[in-house]
Amino acid sequence: MKKLYVIALMGFALGLSQEAFAEVVNMTNSADGADRDSGISAVKEKLNAACKERGGTPDPESFEVVFEKTSPNPDVPKPYYVDAKMKCDLP
């Protein structure tokens, strides 16, 4: 019977630990670029910075481009537009 109390107490302590309250959020952002690669790298930088600003850890494996569009106007300096999302592990 003593073991049951110890196991219950350990389970309760584990449930109250900070790791149990950790949260995974999906962050989204957009960026412009001169071409596809520069647009994607710009949005990755924005997502990483936003996650770290909130005290989280970015998950680069979860990066996903949601929308991309090229402007037909030749006078636009950054004609490539990218929307993307990535997971961020917050404490």
pLDDT by 10-residue block (mean), the chain, 91 residues: 67 58 85 93 95 93 94 88 94 81
Q: What is the DSSP string of the chain?
A: -HHHHHHHHHHHHHHHSGGGG-EEEEEEEEEEESSHHHHHHHHHHHHHHHHHHTT-EEEEEEEEEEEEEE-S-TT-SS-EEEEEEEEEEE-
Say what the pLDDT of residue 73 is: 87
CATH of 22-90, one of 3.30.70, 3.30.1660, 1.10.405, 1.10.10: 3.30.1660
pTM confidence score = 0.73
Say what the pLDDT of residue 13 is: 59
Say what the pLDDT of residue 23 is: 83
Q: Domain segments of the chain: what residues? A: 22-90
